[in-house]
Structure 1
Amino acid sequence: MVAQGFTVDLNKPLVFQVGHLGESYQEWVHQPIVSREGPRFFASDFWEFLTKTEWWVIPLIWLPVVFWAIFKSIRMGLTFLEVSLLVAIGVLVWTLLEYTLHRFLFHIETKSYWGNTIHYLLHGCHHKHPMDGLRLVFPPAATAILTVPFWQLLRLFTTPSSTPALFGGGMLGYVMYDVTHYYLHHGRPSTEVPRKLKKYHMNHHFRIQDKGFGITSSLWDRVFGTLPPSKAPQKKT
């Protein structure tokens, strides 16, 4: 595609190209290329490796953290019922965070060189290549960095014994989100609920990309008025 005199070469590493699209970046990035083979991001093999994550790595790494956090609250004296309630609240908080990040950060409109570049790395690449299976889940190193402020924020508003259970619930919600997201793109659901959820998410990618920000459910889309219409015109390419 040619934009503002610049041509994006899909056969070369993309990350440091897309910033040159300027104001045309938003149009370009929302014209999906449906291919299971993902693009090259970086010329460096090291940095390229860091952008790729198998889906099963997420539960493998983070579910032990979830169980550690839950049992920490139990060891600190909370009952099983209290911990269960806190975990459920943590999951609910994650679903709101999932919606908020997707709507206001992942879909922020950029036009500067570095704005476009960062957006492409954060979420634009997923809309451009929605079937790239190695870039569907969040790299664990980045997640580990973000868990620190999440933990500290919980400590400000909760008691020492309830913080771990809430944190565990939030992390459980995150694991459910990432695994569900992968399944919605690459799974073949045979029952009604996951089929509807898959259709809901595919509509976000291929029909109306400024609505339907929920991944694990449409709850917050309903609450905040971003539920997509039952029928929407096909996005022009």
Structure 2
Amino acid sequence: MAGKGFIVDLNKPLVFQVGHLGEAYQEWVHTPILTEESPQFFESGFAEFLSRTTWWVVPVVWMPVAFYFIGMSYTMGLTLPLVAMLSVSGAFVWTFLEYCIHRFLFHIVTKSYWGNTFHYLIHGFHHKHPMDGLRLVIPPLEAAIVLGMFWYLCRLLFTLSMGSALLGGGLSGYVMYDTTHYYLHHGHPTSKILKSLKKYHMNHHFRIQNKGFGVTTTLWDRVFETLPKTKSAEESK
């Protein structure tokens, strides 16, 4: 039981502490700690192991699965141009899902014990410890559950051959998202495009956290007017 003024002990497992912050959780979780150390989440060593994932696991595990689904569409009789078109469409749909999930799920406002705990587990930890490289990409078990949900949805809405190509393309888009996200935090881009994406994403973490919800593209932030203004635009007001 915790009352007003609860203080999180950073030297103890964090997940089941943060719920006690109540209404103070939002301010606490959006005040980042800039260290690359990976804090302890759970008492259980097994749960702790499952919560950590190195970035290269994502392409190693999921790109073969994406190619399998795309290849399955081709072997079921779809033409190569149609398979390519559906795969690209799936990747494009992913960019929209990426934006929606980040904006409407990852940035929900919570204040109850279990609400805060849930938010911290799905995204809050990333804003509190944005440089934790072992908790930057989605663990395979969690991704597999979400993939199963999308596969079921594809089977409801499309034929097996079309749904396979769309899912494979969407999964490829997810891999690009997670690896790009890791690179924006830990890489040192030299190209203009990646430099711009890194600045855009760092703005989301350290300057305007209720704007800039895209990671691989700014497209949907432009469409839905959640693109953060530049400092020069703010200063000119």
TM-score by length of 2: 0.96
State the partner residue of 1:77.
77
Shift of 1:152: 1.2
Is the alpha carbon distance of 1:232 and 1:131 closer, same or farther for their aligned partners in structure 2, counting shifts above 3 Å?
Answer: farther
Matches of 2:25 and 2:4, distance apart in 1: 10
Matches of 1:145 and 1:128, distance apart in 2: 25
State the partner residue of 1:186.
186
State the partner residue of 2:135.
135
Q: CA offsets per residue over residues 138-191 of structure 1, 9 Å max, x none?
A: 010011111112011112221221111001001001000000000000000011
Is the alpha carbon distance of 1:115 and 1:233 closer, same or farther for their aligned partners in structure 2, counting shifts above 3 Å?
Answer: farther
Q: CA offsets per residue over residues 52-75 of structure 1, 9 Å max, x none?
A: 000000000000001101110000
1:169 maps to amino acid = G
State the partner residue of 2:122.
122
Matches of 2:232 and 2:58, distance apart in 1: 34
Matches of 2:206 and 2:225, distance apart in 1: 20
Is the alpha carbon distance of 1:5 and 1:102 closer, same or farther for their aligned partners in structure 2, counting shifts above 3 Å?
Answer: same
Matches of 2:233 and 2:109, distance apart in 1: 21
Matches of 1:114 and 1:232, distance apart in 2: 40
1:173 maps to amino acid = G
Confirm whether residue 6 of structure 1 aligns to residue 6 of structure 2. yes
State the partner residue of 1:86.
86
Q: CA offsets per residue over residues 18-52 of structure 1, 9 Å max, x none?
A: 00000000000000000000211011111111110
The residue matched to 1:85 in structure 2 has which SS?
helix
Matches of 1:106 and 1:224, distance apart in 2: 17
Contact 1:207-1:233 within 8 A present in 2 as well? no
State the partner residue of 1:227.
227
State the partner residue of 2:47.
47
Map residues 197-236 of structure 1 onto 2, 5 A cutoff.
197-231=197-231
Contact 1:208-1:232 within 8 A present in 2 as well? no
Matches of 2:145 and 2:3, distance apart in 1: 35
The residue matched to 1:6 in structure 2 has which SS?
coil
2:89 maps to amino acid = I
Contact 1:3-1:24 within 8 A present in 2 as well? no
The residue matched to 1:167 in structure 2 has which SS?
helix
Matches of 2:46 and 2:158, distance apart in 1: 40
Shift of 1:233: 11
Matches of 2:224 and 2:4, distance apart in 1: 36
RMSD: 1.6
The residue matched to 1:178 in structure 2 has which SS?
helix
State the partner residue of 1:20.
20
Matches of 1:137 and 1:101, distance apart in 2: 15
Gaps spanning 5+ residues in structure 1: where?
A: none
Contact 1:30-1:128 within 8 A present in 2 as well? yes
1:45 maps to amino acid = G
State the partner residue of 1:167.
167
Matches of 1:122 and 1:206, distance apart in 2: 19
Shift of 1:232: 8.0
Matches of 1:160 and 1:11, distance apart in 2: 50
* Matched length: 233
Gaps spanning 5+ residues in structure 2: where?
A: none
